Amino acid sequence: MPDQSIPQARRTPDPALREPGAGSGRGVSRRALLGTAGATGLVLGAAGGAVGYAAVPAQVTPLTSLGSGRAMFHGKHQPGITEGLQARGHLVAFDLVAGAGRKEAAALLRRWSSAAERLMAGEAAPHDDTDVARDAGPSSLTVTFGFGHSFFARTGLDKQRPAALDPLPDFSSDQLDKARSDGDLWVQIGADDALVAFHALRAVQKEAGGAARVRWQMNGFNRSPGATAHPMTARNLMGQIDGTRNPKPAEADFDRRIFVPAAGEPAWMANGSYAVVRRIRMLLDDWEKLSLSGQEAVIGRRKADGAPLSGGGETTPMDLEKADAKGEYVVPLSAHARITRPDQNGGAAMLRRPFSYHDGIDPDGTPDAGLLFVCWQADPLRGFVPVQRKLDRGDALSRFIRHEASGLFAVPGGAAEGEYVGQRLLEG
């Protein structure tokens, strides 16, 4: 006997809900019902029960601005470098399996590029889509690919390995876990929605097929866009504003400092960049025992607004010579912000684009949390290395952090229409 509590009008399927090939013969894309769940919840709240569900309007609710953001896969540079920080990120390194070489690597990058292009457009994965992101828009998804030092020997391309990809030197603060460092291939995934990011991670892993296996994988996050009353520089897990002096794309020398020139060497790296990846654990229990003034002295900036201790606002140039009534520098000599300034490091500059992470709590109650540090530069030997060497020699922050994993990857320029990432290397 029919359930009389459900209005008869709902017995005719909504055309928008028909399976592909039904009725008119026109299917609905996997994104066609975007936002409907949100409308459903509102109606249920107002009417309640099955009657409320039956009363859901047929029209599609538009995406919010958060879900509609879209980055382009094809371009001069790969995505995921100059875009703003995303709310969720995954970093994953792969090693080619035994017996896999240049041919298998080319096929893999072709598959990965095809999947990334589709996913960044808000479409289904090319094979066996999991439906994890079915109801979401692109959500500013970016997928970025890079090659590690070991990749070139594995594929017989040693002569094409850039000199800038030489292994990073040892630093005194390093306590690196080799199992979570380096790798033949590196993938960076970022999105403003956690399910969209995971969906991309799963697709990348599945598309690796029998050619590559995961070496290590790390999950990160940032503040969600729109969570603050106005756009502002991000905060890290120490509560500090982090990234104030990042190079800006509008600056005249930005490309020179961050990207390999079009005429650079090797040729396949034209318009590419080098990514240094570090898992930096923050010793938060020790940090949080410091007074506010103690924390600010370590960083060299006010915690509330990121302004230098020498005065002004966040973007006010730091006065390194300013002294207090006792004749002591207002910004201590060991302050992190003083040591990392480009003008204190021969102009060395890098674009920091990190994610915070939290991987649980140790048995002793210590949080395993910190920063998945990712920085971009045209040459790490002129960007990351000199700054890190100087930090090694006297950074006050070093007492409160521990570098636990590291990697350096060559990230080629963006793929043109019809190309896959790395094609100029693998087929050149």
Q: Which residue numbers are catalytic?
A: 242
DSSP state of 301: B
| Distance, CA of 224 to chain centre | 13
> Residues 6 or more apart from 327 whose CB is under 8 A from it?
none
Q: Which residue has the tokens 């070991």?
A: 150
| CA pseudo-torsion sign 401, 406, 412, 418 | negative
Residues with Cβ within 8 Å of residue 149, at least 6 apart in sequence: 161, 165, 166, 167, 182, 408
Q: Write out the two tokens for 44.
A: 């249920």
**Of 144, 190, 191, 146, which is closest to residue 164 (Cα–Cα)?**
146
As to burial, measured by CB atoms within 10 angstroms (0-12 exposed, 13-18 middle, 19+ buried), residue 195 is: middle
Token readout for 289 is 């025992």
**Angle at CA 373, nearest 5°, toward 67 and 87?**
15
Contact 133, 196 (CB under 8 A): yes
| Burial state string for 122-148 with b = 16 or more CB within 10 A and e = fewer than 16 | bbbbeeebeebbebbbbbbbbbbbbbb
Residue with tokens 């003008």: 343
Task: Give the strand pairing for 212-221 and 88-96.
Answer: antiparallel
Q: What is the b/e burial string over 356-395, where b = at least 16 CB atoms within 10 angstroms of the residue's CB?
A: bbeeeeeeeeebebbbbbbbbbbbbbbbbbebbebbbeeb
